[in-house]
């Protein structure tokens, strides 16, 4: 691994090591570019992952304080943790369930397809599906996505067989074990999935793709990567010309450090990316970096979610098999006659026994609650992953009344749900309940809305600089050597789990950055 001097102004500084940052670091270093990769968390490994749920949660989760507001269920049900993502090398690719579907071509044209949706801030993406498709194909090969490129799908778990039976009863046709970045056979030097379940605690087999043990070690092997763990970025600085030139961060000892940079790529997840840009205000950028449009932090999306559980008369053992290896895709269509625009997926769900009562059930203690828990082995589950509407006032702001460990304002996450979101959730929960009822469920139990895990759109791409923060390359409209490299840049969320799209955009961005650097433009 390289050691890059603090005063080396030729380095690219990447903040965050997840799907976007970790992939970008590999792509730049293999092209001979020196990279400093700052990661706020610790470095875990296949050996250090804990399979004890509480320990794993503490080991991987971003637990720094933040606040919330608005009428969304996250504010009411999970006030200390309205948003759930990771603080560890590899970011949320360590904890993700590895569902890797593509966005649909029409989902990149939401404004054109849906029209003027009152109360929404829709715009079209500044790139076409045809431009993105090449990078989807590269990303799917990199991740080893099942049911692509001749890679077989994962085996059908009991939880999937229940879903499949119910879906077929309702006439659904697009039902399968998913496009998953989990090895159904040995691939890329990594083992195959042994179906032990609970993927969100870190895959001890390495069967699930994560930048922790794929992109980052590959980047280190080039000799061009300086990975600095437990290093929390607190400010991005710029010169008189407005170009960024350094990142201020606190190291593992709490000491403030300053790393000079030729260019900076922010990939801290959509909440912390927006917060860092807002914290980096100056007399030249009084609203925060790259925020002349006032769009930094706005249009926050997190997908429409919500679970449904069903108790059957025989054991399901839903925890056996990959957590999310099952999907019904027939509802990924735009049919306004359903009462909403946009589409949704119905995906498998299982939760470990300690976590189920915390985030998966709407009941408190009592006889009814106990009866559900007693039937844990007979429980099947699925949830909705749907397109939510961007709203200008759904946003990340700074809360100066609450400070972090470094005395800086924390992020406040504000969400008021759009009526379209509510209608979609109601429709999806109804369909999931019908699926279970159609195959003889003894009882169907609607679950609450869990903490947000897909955080997107807070520094969105736009053709018109007034409408967003970056161009189609993730390059900020205001500052040519400042890039955003995570889910923040998604223009709209679509109904696809976002990681594959984030990786595809990072691959595309790396090509652009490399070319711009060679041409001396950044």
pLDDT more than 70, % of the chain:
100
pLDDT value at residue 87? 98
Tell me how long the chain is. 522
Where do the domains of the chain lie, and which CATH numbers do they carry?
12-46+54-518 (3.50.50.60)
pLDDT tens digit sequence for 292-323: 999 999 999 999 999 999 999 999 999 999 99
What confidence score (pLDDT) does residue 422 get? 97
User: Of 333, 363, 362, nearest to 346 (Cα)?
Assistant: 333
pLDDT at position 139 over 80: yes
Residue 154 · residue 193 · CB < 8 Å? yes
From residue 319, how far is each of 171, 191, 324, 379 by CA, in Å? 27, 20, 10, 10
Percent of the chain with pLDDT over 90: 93
Average pLDDT, stretch 513-520? 97
| DSSP E strand boundaries for 210-354 | 225-228, 232-238, 244-250, 256-260, 263-266, 307-311, 327-328, 344-348
| Residue 127: pLDDT over 80 | yes
- pLDDT tens for residues 146-183? 999 999 999 999 999 999 999 999 999 999 999 999 99
Q: What is the pLDDT of residues 382-427, one digit of tens each?
A: 999 999 999 999 999 999 999 999 999 999 999 999 999 999 999 9
Average pLDDT, the chain: 96
Q: Which residues contact 361 (CB under 8 A, 6 or more apart)?
A: 309, 369, 372, 445, 447, 448
What per-residue confidence (pLDDT) applies to 365?
Answer: 82
Is pLDDT above 90 for 1? no
Q: What is the pLDDT of residues 178-230, one digit of tens each?
A: 999 999 999 999 999 999 988 999 999 999 999 999 999 999 999 999 999 99
The rounded distance, in Å, linking the Cα atoms of 201 and 203 is 7
Tokens of 308: 């449904």
Q: What is the mean pLDDT of residues 255-283?
A: 98
343 touches 495 (CB < 8 A):
yes
pLDDT of 77 strictly over 90: no
Q: How far is CA 148 from the centre of its chain?
A: 21
Can you name the residues that pair with 86 across neighbouring β-strands?
Answer: 61
Q: Which of 109-118, 127-136, 264-273, 365-374 shows the lowest per-residue confidence on average (mean pLDDT)?
A: 365-374
**Is pLDDT of 444 > 80?**
yes
Give first-to-last CA distance, the chain, whole Å.
25
What integer pLDDT is reported at residue 230 of this predicted model?
Answer: 98
How high is the pLDDT of residue 76?
84
pLDDT of residue 364: 77
Q: Which two tokens stand for residue 145?
A: 């996505």
pLDDT greater than 80 at residue 115: yes
- pLDDT tens per residue, range 52-61: 999 999 999 9
Rounded distance between C-alpha atoms, residue 243 and residue 239, angstroms: 6
Residues 245-261 have pLDDT tens digits of 999 999 999 999 999 99
Is the confidence at residue 74, as pLDDT, over 90?
A: no
Mean pLDDT of 65-89: 91
Q: How does residue 360 score in pLDDT terms, banded at 50, 70 and 90?
A: confident
Query: According to the model, what pLDDT value does residue 359 have?
Result: 85
Per-residue pLDDT, 167: 98
Does the pLDDT of residue 362 top 80, yes or no?
Answer: no
Residue 448 has what pLDDT?
A: 87
Q: Which range (75-84, 407-416, 471-480) has the least confidence?
A: 75-84
């Amino acid at each position: 691994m390289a050691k890059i001097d603090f005063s080396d102004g030729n380095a690219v500084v990447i903040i965050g090591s997840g799907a976007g940052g970790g992939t970008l670091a590999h792509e730049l270093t293999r092209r001979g570019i020196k990279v400093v990769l700052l990661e706020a968390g610790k470095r875990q490994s296949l050996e250090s992952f804990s399979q004890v749920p509480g320990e794993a949660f503490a080991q991987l989760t971003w637990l720094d304080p933040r606040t919330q507001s608005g009428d969304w269920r996250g504010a009411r049900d999970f006030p200390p943790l309205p948003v759930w993502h990771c603080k560890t090398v590899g970011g949320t690719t360590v904890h993700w369930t590895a569902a890797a579907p593509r966005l649909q071509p029409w989902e990149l044209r939401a404004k054109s397809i849906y029209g003027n949706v009152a109360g929404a801030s829709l715009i079209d993406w500044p790139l076409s599906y045809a431009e993105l498709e090449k990078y989807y194909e590269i990303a799917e090969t990199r991740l080893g996505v099942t049911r692509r490129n001749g890679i077989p799908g994962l085996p059908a778990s009991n939880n999937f067989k229940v879903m499949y039976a119910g879906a077929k009863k309702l006439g659904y046709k697009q039902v399968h074990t998913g496009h998953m970045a989990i090895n159904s056979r040995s691939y890329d030097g990594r083992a195959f999935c042994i179906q032990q379940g609970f993927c969100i605690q870190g895959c001890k087999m390495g069967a699930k793709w994560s930048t922790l043990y794929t992109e980052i070690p590959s980047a280190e092997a080039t000799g061009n990567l300086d990975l600095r763990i437990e290093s929390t970025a607190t400010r991005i600085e710029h010169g008189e010309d407005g170009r960024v030139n350094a990142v201020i961060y606190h190291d593992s000892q709490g000491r403030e450090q300053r790393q000079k940079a030729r260019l900076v790529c922010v990939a801290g997840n959509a909440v912390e990316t927006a917060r860092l840009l807002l914290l980096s205000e100056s007399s030249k950028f009084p609203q925060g970096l790259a925020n002349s449009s006032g769009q930094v932090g706005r249009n926050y999306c997190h997908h429409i979610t919500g679970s449904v559980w069903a108790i059957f008369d025989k054991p399901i053992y839903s925890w056996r098999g990959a957590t999310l290896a099952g999907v019904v895709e027939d509802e990924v269509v735009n049919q306004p006659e359903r009462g909403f625009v946009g589409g949704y997926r119905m995906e498998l769900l299982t939760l470990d026994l300690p976590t189920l009562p915390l985030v998966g059930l709407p009941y408190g203690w009592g006889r009814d609650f106990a009866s559900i828990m007693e039937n844990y082995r007979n429980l099947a589950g699925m949830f909705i992953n749907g397109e939510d509407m961007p709203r200008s006032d759904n946003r990340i702001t700074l809360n100066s009344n609450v400070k972090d460990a470094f005395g800086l304002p924390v992020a406040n996450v504000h969400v008021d749900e759009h009526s379209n979101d509510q209608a979609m959730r109601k429709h999806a929960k109804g369909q999931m309940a019908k699926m279970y009822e159609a195959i003889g469920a003894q009882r169907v139990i609607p679950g609450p809305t869990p903490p947000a895990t897909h955080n997107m759109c807070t520094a969105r791409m736009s053709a018109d600089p007034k409408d967003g923060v970056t161009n189609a390359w993730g390059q900020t409209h205001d500052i040519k050597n400042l890039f955003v490299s995570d889910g923040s840049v998604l223009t709209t969320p679509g109904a696809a789990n976002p990681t594959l799209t984030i990786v595809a955009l990072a691959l595309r961005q790396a090509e652009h950055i490399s070319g711009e650097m060679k041409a001396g433009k950044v």
